[in-house]
Amino acid sequence: MTDAEIPKEEPQPADAPTPESSAPPPPEPLEDQQVEAEASALEPASFAALDDGEALPPEEPGPAPYPVSFDVEPIGKLSRLSTFFRIILAIPLLIVVSIIGGGSFSGPAPFLGVGLVTGLVGLHWVTVIVRGRPVGWVFDAIVHMQRFTVRATTYFLLITDKYPPFDGDWSAGYDVQRPEKLSRRKILFWKTLAIIPHAIILTVLGFAASVCVVIAWFAILFTGRYPLGLRGFVIGWIRWYSRVGAYWVSLRDDFPPYSLSAEAPAASRSAHGVSAFAGGAVVAASIAGIAAFLILAPTTETVQVDYASLLGGQSSEEIEISDATIVLPVAADPFEFTDQIWTAEEDERFVAFLAQVTNETGFDLELAEGDFRLKDTDGDRHRPAFMSLDGLRPPRDLTDGNTVIVILIFEIPSGEDPQSLSYKHDDLHTAKFEFE
């Protein structure tokens, strides 16, 4: 290339910007103090503490789970054949559990049966009352027996299809931490009162668990799997029941929580007190109800009546009940209506009684057909086919101080005879005439 072909650069003005000068200027470096301030603003307090060589504050531990544990290993598919015949396969377990006396498949605790564990629990209570603390081998024996009962219950309720062993590890674990001391004064009476609310709730949940097991039985037969939600509920119910049982037999003094969760801690003192108060109220109400029943128990005043003499017009003895009196002056057997306005069914007949009722109760007394019953020799009870009160149809009010003549006509089988006639004065008082 010749010099003529080389392009010459045009001279640039002195004030024209160069390519380098057209780029934005680089940021100015931050001073050390500014860098430290921005870093400390972004840095968590914990990291700052580490930089200063200070130890992190320890996290506050949550409350420990209740010291009676029950857990079941996760399981995949279950045997359909074993599930279908579970009741038959569980018969040997039921026999062993009955011998142990540790409860039943409907609930492993706290209601003990008559068996080996019952005597051990009695011995345990005596040792706690005397020593204030459990005897190791007695405590461990009770726990071992209850562990097998819980395992048998777990198997019966379809939670697992592995047959429970008498000892060693298994897919369901049950354990109780042995305490150093146990309360003497809480044994039996106090703890029985305190667990009454638990027992009521567990009974209701037990019905729900039974429904869950039935549903799970069909689900396993069709899918081979126990629905997780139902399985978790049934396991939680067994766990709750086991905690209450351990508390009641005084394996622990910690009051069990109202919870299905494995991580639930012991209930608070206030919950313990409220439960004991509620249990005491239930017991007091039960005692009051029993006393009221005994005091106000239904009573029946009975007299013997010669039936042939009554047919002949000889009046029965008078019965007095709650300031009212009733007597039978006469009876007719068989009885026929005038002009046969009513006739009995085939192979049946009418029987008529005349009753005299006097009201001295201080208030009006209502008389109705449902107050009278005739029992025949076959044991059947009959309502009046016809009834009148001084010629009027019931029901009628008998005012205080007055007497009414009651005509009672019953229809009974021809081959049977009247055995007794009863008058129900109220829910608690009945007059009864027995025929000889």
Q: What digits encode the pLDDT tens for the residues 353-411?
A: 999 999 888 888 888 888 899 999 888 999 998 898 888 888 888 888 899 999 999 99
Q: Is 304 helix (H, G, I), strand (E, B) or coil?
A: strand
12, 21, 260, 391 from 15: Cα distances, Å:
8, 11, 86, 139
Least confident among 145-154, 182-191, 193-202, 332-341: 332-341
Give me the pLDDT at residue 110, please. Answer: 42
Give me the pLDDT at residue 43, please. Answer: 46
DSSP symbol at 378: T
Give me the pLDDT at residue 7, please. Answer: 47
Instruction: Tell me the average pLDDT across 119-130.
Output: 91
φ, ψ (nearest 5 deg) of residue 393: -80, 145
Give me the pLDDT at residue 205, please. Answer: 95
Q: 214 pLDDT band (50/70/90 cuts)?
A: very high
Instruction: Tell me the average pLDDT across 33-48.
Output: 46
Residue 231: pLDDT above 90?
yes
Instruction: Tell me the average pLDDT across 172-188.
Output: 91
Residue 39: pLDDT above 80?
no
Q: What percent of the chain has pLDDT over 70?
A: 83
pLDDT tens string 48-75: 444 455 555 666 677 899 999 999 988 8
152, 189, 256, 271 from 251: Cα distances, Å:
20, 15, 12, 19
Residue 165: pLDDT above 90?
no
- Residues 247 and 255: beta-carbon distance below 8 Å: yes
Instruction: Tell me the average pLDDT across 188-203.
Output: 92
63-73 CB burial, b ≥16 within 10 A, e <16: eeebbbebebe
410 Cβ neighbours under 8 A, 6+ residues apart = 350, 351, 352, 353, 374, 382, 383, 384, 385, 418
Residue 30: pLDDT above 50?
no
- Residues 382 and 345: beta-carbon distance below 8 Å: no
Residue 14: pLDDT above 80?
no
Give me the pLDDT at residue 361, please. Answer: 81
Instruction: Tell me the average pLDDT across 331-350.
Output: 85
Give me the pLDDT at residue 111, please. Answer: 46
Q: 20 pLDDT band (50/70/90 cuts)?
A: very low
- Residues 256 and 134: beta-carbon distance below 8 Å: no
Q: Rounded CA gap, 290 and 216, in Å?
A: 41
φ, ψ (nearest 5 deg) of residue 335: -120, 140
Give me the pLDDT at residue 363, please. Answer: 85
To the nearest whole number, what is the mean pLDDT of the chain? Answer: 83
Q: Is the dihedral of CA 366, 370, 375, 379 positive or negative?
A: negative
Q: Rounded CA gap, 354 and 329, in Å?
A: 6
Is the entire prediction scored with pTM above 0.75? no
Q: What percent of the chain has pLDDT over 90?
A: 48
Give me the pLDDT at residue 19, please. Answer: 46
Give me the pLDDT at residue 342, please. Answer: 81
Give the other-Cβ count within 10 Å of 383's Cβ. 14
Give me the pLDDT at residue 182, please. Answer: 93
Q: 425 pLDDT band (50/70/90 cuts)?
A: confident
Of the CA atoms within 13 Å of residue 159, those in its CB half-sphere come to 31
Domain with CATH 2.60.40.1240 in the chain: 301-435
Residue 290: pLDDT above 60?
yes
Return left, alpha or beta for 211; rule: phi > 0 is left, psi -120 to 50 is alpha, else beta.
Answer: alpha
- Residues 345 and 338: beta-carbon distance below 8 Å: no
Residue 237: pLDDT above 90?
yes
CATH class, 301-435 region: mainly beta
Q: Rounded CA gap, 48 and 27, in Å?
A: 28
292-325 CB burial, b ≥16 within 10 A, e <16: eeeeeeeeebeeebebeebeeeeebeebebeebe
Q: Which residue has the higher pLDDT, 163 or 343?
A: 163
- Residues 85 and 76: beta-carbon distance below 8 Å: no
Instruction: Tell me the average pLDDT across 170-184.
Output: 91
Q: Rounded CA gap, 134 and 250, in Å?
A: 9
Residue 274: pLDDT above 90?
yes
Residue 9: pLDDT above 60?
no
